[in-house]
Structure 1
Amino acid sequence: MLEHGGNLRDAAKRFGRDDWLDLSTGINPRWYPAPALEGNAWHRLPEPDPALTAAAEAFYGAPRMLPVAGTQAAIQALPRLRKPSRVAVSAPSYAEHAHHWAGHGHTLTLTPYDALDVAVAQSDVVVVVNPNNPTGATIPAAQLLQWADQLAARGGWLVVDEAFGDTTQHNSVAAHTARPGLIVLRSVGKFFGLAGIRLGFVAAHADLLRDLADLLGPWTISGPAQQIAQAALTDSAWQAQTREQLQASGERLRALLAAHGIQSNGTPLFQWWAEAQPEAFWQHMAESGVWVRLFTQAARGIRLGLPPDEAGWQRLQAALTEWTRR
């Protein structure tokens, strides 16, 4: 398996402490408060609930969506729905995309963001993470739609992973997924902070969603997850308050890093920078009880998310101050 953030058991085993400030995931640390569940949520087989799908389509602005057990389920399944193809995956980006497209007979090319325009002309499938994880880079929706049309004209796909897109809804292309060949992935794990319920959505043409549903099989989303997500997706007051809070927190994080000589990029949920000494920085922060995400391959750098409270902010500031005084 590939390494991901949130692996606090590994952190505790390696560094021998259990008082972690976990900034390694980019998940909203103030998660949606799960409502009380109906008793039958634990008893009934979790057949698909049309109300959940309708709530997702309204929130994401998509004409048709399929609930999946986290976007990871779709990332693993989509390569199995095509014959061997030439696939370009934006790089650096969420590593699971390249990992799974590399199998099933496909020919994979890791493509820098500034070379994606050329890759569209030479590929059958192009995968773009937008906003990008880990760097926060974005591609305008108009450009994505142009690429989608180019690929669809020859039976290709544009897969757009918008897992971190809930704070930048204006740049989403989910509304255009009725057209063949455009596939958008969305997640309730990041903005809503509900990574533990394992739920995401795929927006795409009806034919592709039918094929994907057949491949994934029945009962993919638990009853409790369906009820919690429906409440979150329809709670517009919480959503508006959270967007405002995340914008402020994201700017605070960027400013805190800048005050310590770190020029970063990112989203309201995380910041990333090409750290000159990423391993040393990661080691220092871990020894301070702050768990951040280290990248050592396609993007040598550091990504960190938002502290959950004021004590966390002060702890991060202290660790950063110690780093700059070395």
Structure 2
Amino acid sequence: MRSAGAIGAGDLAEDGIWHGGDLATARALFPDAPGPWIDLSTGINPIPYPLPELPLSLWTRLPGADDEAALLAAARAAYRVPGDAGIVAAPGTQILIELLPRLAPAGPVAILGPTYAEHAHAWRKAGYVVTEAARPEEAAATLVVVNPNNPDGRLLSRAEIAELAARCAARGGLLVVDEAFADFTPETSIMPDLPASVVVLRSFGKTYGLAGLRLGFAIGAPDLTAQLAVALGPWSVAGPALHLGAQALADAAWLADAGEARARDAARLDELLAPRGRIVGGTSLFRLLETPAAPALFARLGRHGIYVRRFQNAPDRLRFGLPGDEAAWSRLQQALAADVRQASPSA
């Protein structure tokens, strides 16, 4: 019998990649854990954008061109997209990651890693030879950079991104910059400058706490975004997502308040985690803890009904998302305190 917290083939997605948010696996690993589960395995804002009442017509008619235009206008303003760049909306950035190989020339692809595993997986499925580059200078003509990075928060400056873009362009390649976690730190974005050889991805659901809405954007040269739009086809984004996305992206005050609040939450989480290991990075939506006791800590938290993110290739690391309310903070604090008590010889 497998012990709680052990890893088996049944714990993996079909593609062999682990993802956050998989509470079915959590329940299978820890069937006796108390509920409700606290899912800290994702980097999603736990305090979502307040949902307004939606007109019934959004559910009963096909999405309209005017609705899409309003969303794209709001996204252009929120992301500071230059006027000569193209932008396309999609039902989440994952589908855009799957489509990006259609835009790049043949040849090797480098992923600045370690990072979100779906990038390498998508390029390999498309037939590209993919390598993980530890440093940008090791990159091929086509390079993928997640900035800020997931899961360690590694950050390249705008000048460094611009230099990489020039290098990729000189080699006839493409630079993909995944800015899924850049909303709360807009100064880290390559926007409003956008070299012609760059495609930027932006994720709506993480920042606005509405991941189930499935909404994301690709920004780049108009010929590149046009190819993505053709591949996506008509009505690719649902009417409610167009409506809610446009409203939320235009709400700059909410974004600013949420960014300040999540930064305070991240500092609070650091205080809880620091006695358990070394905090090696993160963003204001998640923190990365390094400790040789990571497998035991993962299992102990699981038995308390708290699910955190573990990694196939880094078993000494755990990523913690932010608790969403005081009850969740209290349960996490108690579970971590239990960890210390059990580790103490006098316990």
Answer yes or no: is 1:62 the counterpart of 2:81: yes
Partner of 2:304: 288
Rounded Cα–Cα distance in structure 1 between residues aligned with 2:340 and 2:157: 36
- Name which of 297, 317, 331 aligns with 1:315: 331
Instruction: Verify the 8 A CA contact 2:105 2:173 in the aligned structure 1.
Output: no
- Name which of 133, 149, 159 aligns with 1:142: 159
Partner of 2:96: 74
Answer yes or no: is 1:5 the counterpart of 2:24: no
Instruction: Verify the 8 A CA contact 1:47 1:218 in the aligned structure 2.
Output: no
Instruction: Verify the 8 A CA contact 2:277 2:289 in the aligned structure 1.
Output: no
Partner of 1:252: 268
Instruction: Verify the 8 A CA contact 1:90 1:116 in the aligned structure 2.
Output: yes
Rounded Cα–Cα distance in structure 2 between residues aligned with 1:84 and 1:109: 14
Instruction: Verify the 8 A CA contact 1:136 1:266 in the aligned structure 2.
Output: yes
Rounded Cα–Cα distance in structure 2 between residues aligned with 1:299 and 1:150: 34
Secondary structure of the equivalent of 2:183?
A: helix
The offset of 1:261, in angstroms, is 4.5
Rounded Cα–Cα distance in structure 1 between residues aligned with 2:142 and 2:314: 20
Answer yes or no: is 1:191 the counterpart of 2:207: yes
CA separation of 1:318 and 1:250: change in aligned 2, threshold 3 A: same
CA separation of 1:152 and 1:298: change in aligned 2, threshold 3 A: farther
Rg (Cα) greater in structure? 2
Partner of 2:4: none
- Name which of 241, 256, 270 aligns with 2:257: 241
- Name which of 90, 98, 114 aligns with 2:112: 90
Partner of 1:22: 39
Instruction: Verify the 8 A CA contact 2:295 2:315 in the aligned structure 1.
Output: no
The offset of 1:217, in angstroms, is 1.2
Instruction: Verify the 8 A CA contact 1:92 1:299 in the aligned structure 2.
Output: no
Answer yes or no: is 1:53 the counterpart of 2:75: no
Once structures 1 and 2 are overlaid, which stretch shifts more, 253-262 or 143-152?
253-262
Partner of 2:185: 168
Instruction: Verify the 8 A CA contact 1:84 1:105 in the aligned structure 2.
Output: no
Rounded Cα–Cα distance in structure 2 between residues aligned with 1:91 and 1:286: 28
In structure 1, give the amino acid aligned to 2:176.
Answer: V
In structure 2, give the amino acid aligned to 1:312.
Answer: A
In structure 1, give the amino acid aligned to 2:123.
Answer: W
In structure 1, give the amino acid aligned to 2:26.
Answer: A
Instruction: Verify the 8 A CA contact 2:43 2:321 in the aligned structure 1.
Output: yes
Once structures 1 and 2 are overlaid, which stretch shifts more, 283-292 or 252-261?
252-261
Answer yes or no: is 1:153 the counterpart of 2:170: yes
Rounded Cα–Cα distance in structure 1 between residues aligned with 2:191 and 2:64: 25
Rounded Cα–Cα distance in structure 2 between residues aligned with 1:103 and 1:12: 31
Rounded Cα–Cα distance in structure 2 between residues aligned with 1:43 and 1:218: 17
Partner of 1:118: 138
Secondary structure of the equivalent of 2:57?
A: helix
Rounded Cα–Cα distance in structure 1 between residues aligned with 2:213 and 2:261: 23
Rounded Cα–Cα distance in structure 1 between residues aligned with 2:247 and 2:236: 19
Instruction: Verify the 8 A CA contact 2:18 2:311 in the aligned structure 1.
Output: no
In structure 1, give the amino acid aligned to 2:284.
Answer: P
Partner of 1:226: 242
Unaligned runs of 5+ in 2: 1-14
Answer yes or no: is 1:201 the counterpart of 2:223: no
User: How high is the TM-score relative to the length of structure 1?
Assistant: 0.94
In structure 2, give the amino acid aligned to 1:285.
Answer: L
The offset of 1:69, in angstroms, is 1.1
Deviations 1:3-36 (A, max 9, x none): 2111112212332244211101010000001111
In structure 2, give the amino acid aligned to 1:265.
Answer: G
The offset of 1:262, in angstroms, is 3.8
In structure 2, give the amino acid aligned to 1:225.
Answer: A
The offset of 1:59, in angstroms, is 0.3
In structure 2, give the amino acid aligned to 1:72.
Answer: Q
Rounded Cα–Cα distance in structure 2 between residues aligned with 1:226 and 1:176: 26
Partner of 1:101: 123
Rounded Cα–Cα distance in structure 2 between residues aligned with 1:263 and 1:271: 7
Once structures 1 and 2 are overlaid, which stretch shifts more, 85-94 or 17-26?
17-26
The offset of 1:106, in angstroms, is 1.1
Instruction: Verify the 8 A CA contact 2:184 2:255 in the aligned structure 1.
Output: no
- Identity, % of aligned pairs? 44
Once structures 1 and 2 are overlaid, which stretch shifts more, 30-39 or 259-268?
259-268
The offset of 1:319, in angstroms, is 1.2
